[in-house]
Amino acid sequence: MKDINLFNLALQNLRRKPYRSVAIGLCVAVMTGSLFAATIILRGVQTSLSVGQARLGADLVVVPTGYKAPAQEAFITGQPTTFYMSDQIEAQIADLPGVAQTSSQVFVQTLTNASCCIGEFFLVGFDPQSDFTISPWLVTHLDGQPLGPLDVIAGDRILLREGDGATFYGTNFRIAGVLERTGMGIDRTIYVPIEGLRQMIADSAELAEETLTIPPNEISSVMVSIAPGADVIDVAEAIEGNLSGVNVFTASQLNQAVARQMQGVMGITFGVTATLWLMSLLLVGLIFSLIVNERQRELGLLRAMGARGRAVFQLVMSEAGLLTGMGGVIGLLVSGVLLMSFSRLIQLRLRIPYLLPSMLEIIGVEVGLLALALFTGALASLQPALSISRMEPYAAVRRGE
Amino acid sequence: MKKVNVFGVIIAVVGVLIILTPVVFPVCEGLLELVNGKQVPMRCNWTARAEWIIGALVLISGLLVAFAKTDEARKRLNNQVVFLGLATILTPLFIIPTCMNPEMACNIGTKPALIILGVVVTGLGLYGSFLPRSNAEVVSD
């Protein structure tokens, strides 16, 4: 026979009304689960943006007029886009005050039936002599070994591994390294030394199914690093003011672009979750008030047999805590499984950068939300628990009859 | 009065969800061109078809569990549900695997959904197989 303690007694009381218990538990589970999912997605976007910006390495990105939005989209989601401008622009930017370093890039889109990989990817030609975005990575990961013209660096989502071969527009390349996952467009980008890219463009007429017609004096973007002490916005304005036909965006504007994308979805999610929390609070409060009324006789008899008011209070609070705690755990578990399983789908549908936050952070969020679930139960059942614990045993038995 | 096993009803509902999975999370739509020029659907298309059949079997088994007259029959049916749950999980993983590229539609939506539903079916079947009869949940119709 089981010992009669507070926990067993509370558990047995919950088992007596399984459907009611399941309904309350589900309500709390949905509330906790959706709050967990919304928080982790938001933190995942922030993690991805900070890792992606560090990888981007530039303070400013200069693109031809009218291509600011597609370029931002390309950096965020990896959606390939191509546009070109004269390479003279790089030299003009380098002459402006406040500019420390510049490096040009050329964008090419892979064909959908590229022999290596399914889908369209971004080929970015970079100049190893002036580059300051990929080169620091080469120093730390490839011991600073210089890349050959046909050695390329691939993003994590391309599914190519170091040493693999890949053919683009008929030219064979070798994967010299794979970048760490960022959750941003960089993951779907292949960085090619400009010499190799120009060779690929020239040979495409003979070797490729589709000829590339990018003149050798054209570039797609200029990455700009500003001098210490210079203001990013001032330099950006100077570039747009002094050069015609270009648009500039800062690394922080990528954040704003993502924030705009997220605003609607996250606003609705947090709104619905807040409403759910309020509803859970009211529902648990209402049901526990009914439970206490319904069980006045039983709780009165318990008091008459010697149980103190505090014990009755603890019993009601334990039932609420057990119910909301179990609901919270189930909600967190289900939400965690769904989030892990469908993270890529969520990322693609919402068109957001996403990188799972650290395990420590996830555990922190889980503990916080579990505490919120328990607090909801405690807050909602506080009044009914107090009223029954203060009632005289005789009055409780009589009123419960 | 006739009794309906509530777990049987839940199993039947999950069976419907398995059938609906390739509709809600569609598999890859493209066609593969063979060397001889013939175009064939991608292999995840066959995964989806197999899961429709498994889903239908889960649905039927669930209904049989719900309306089974004896505990012994219910237990045997639950054993069958366990195997169907395992089949739901193993089909997109090993039996008829989905496409190789983890970025494709079948791998980011259909496969995880089927695995989760398969785990639920297996769990329900195991619960029904090993649950002591005195604790079995029954509702009256």
Q: Is residue A221 one of the residues assigned to a domain?
A: yes
Domain annotation covers residue A251: no
Tallying the residues shown for chain A, one arrives at 401
Q: Which of B103, B114, B137, B139 to mutate to test the interface with A (most CBs of A within 10 A)?
A: B103
Q: What pLDDT sits at residue A352?
A: 84
Are A235 and A330 contained in the same domain?
no
* Residue A253 falls inside a structural domain: no
Q: Count CB atoms within 10 A of the CB of residue A312.
A: 23
Between A42 and B24, the higher pLDDT residue: B24
- Least CA distance to A334: which residue of chain B? B116
Evaluate whether residue A170 is within a structural domain: yes
Sign of CA dihedral A21, A26, A31, A37: positive
Q: Which domain holds residue A336?
A: 6-50+261-400
Q: Which candidate in A22, A118, A157 is best for mutational testing of the B interface (most B CBs within 10 A)?
A: A118
Whether residue A145 sits in one domain with residue A268: no
Do the chains contact at B103 and A337, CB–CB below 8 Å? no
pLDDT at B140: 43
> How far, CA to CA in Å, does B116 sit from each of A186, A339, B25?
31, 12, 13
Residue in chain A closest to B135 (alpha carbons) equals A15
DSSP state of A76: H
Spell out which residues of chain B touch residue A119, defining contact as CB-CB under 8 Å. 101, 103
* Same structural domain, A200 and A86: yes
Is A60 a domain residue?
Answer: no
* Residues A268 and A206 placed together within one structural domain of the fold: no
A43 and A117 part of one domain: no
The pLDDT, as a whole number, for residue A276 is: 83
- In this structure, the answer to whether residues A101 and A224 fall within a common structural domain is yes
Amino acid B21: pLDDT: 97
What is the pLDDT, as a whole number, of residue B139? 46
ipTM attached to this prediction? 0.84
Q: Residue B111: closest CA among chain A residues belongs to which residue?
A: A341
Rounded mean pLDDT of B29-49?
84
Q: Which residues of B touch A345 (CB under 8 A)?
A: 25, 108-109, 112
Q: What is the DSSP pairing of strand B138-140 with strand B3-5? A: antiparallel
Q: Give residue A112's pLDDT.
A: 65
Residues A154 and A284 in one domain: no
Measured between alpha carbons, how far is B69 from B51 in angstroms, rounded to an integer?
A: 28
* Residue A134 backbone dihedrals phi, psi, to 5 degrees: -95, -30
Looking at the structure, tell me whether residues A200 and A270 fall in a common domain: no
Among A194, A209, A244, which residue terminates a domain?
A: A244
Return all residues near B116 (Cβ < 8 A) that are at least 6 apart: A337, A338, A341
Of the candidates A157, A337, A338, which has its C-beta nearest B103's C-beta?
A: A157
Per-residue pLDDT at B132: 58
Whether A111 is covered by a domain: the verdict is yes
B134 pLDDT more than 50: no
Number of folded domains in chain A? Answer: 2
Is A249 part of any domain?
Answer: no
Handedness of CA B105, B111, B117, B121 (dihedral sign): positive
d(CA A142, CA B9): 59
User: Does some domain include residue A59?
Assistant: no
> Does B113 contact chain A (CB < 8 Å)?
yes
Asked if B116's CB is within 8 angstroms of A337's CB, the reply is: yes
CB-nearest partner of B108 from A117, A159, A348: A348
Tens of pLDDT, residues B89-116? 999 999 999 998 888 899 999 999 999 9
- Indicate if A384 and A328 belong to the same structural domain: yes
For every one of its 401 residues, what pLDDT tens digit does chain A have, with 9 covering 90 and above?
566 777 888 888 888 888 888 888 998 999 899 889 989 988 898 888 888 777 778 889 999 999 998 898 888 888 888 999 999 999 999 999 999 999 999 999 876 665 555 567 889 999 988 988 887 777 777 777 788 999 999 988 887 888 888 888 889 999 998 988 888 888 888 999 999 999 999 998 888 888 888 999 999 999 999 999 999 999 999 999 999 999 999 877 877 777 777 777 778 888 888 888 888 889 888 888 888 888 888 888 888 888 888 888 998 899 999 999 999 999 999 999 999 999 989 888 888 888 888 999 999 999 999 999 999 999 999 998 998 888 888 777 777 56
Q: Do A342 and B108 touch (CB under 8 A)?
A: yes
Instruction: Give me the mean pLDDT over the B34-54 stretch.
Output: 89
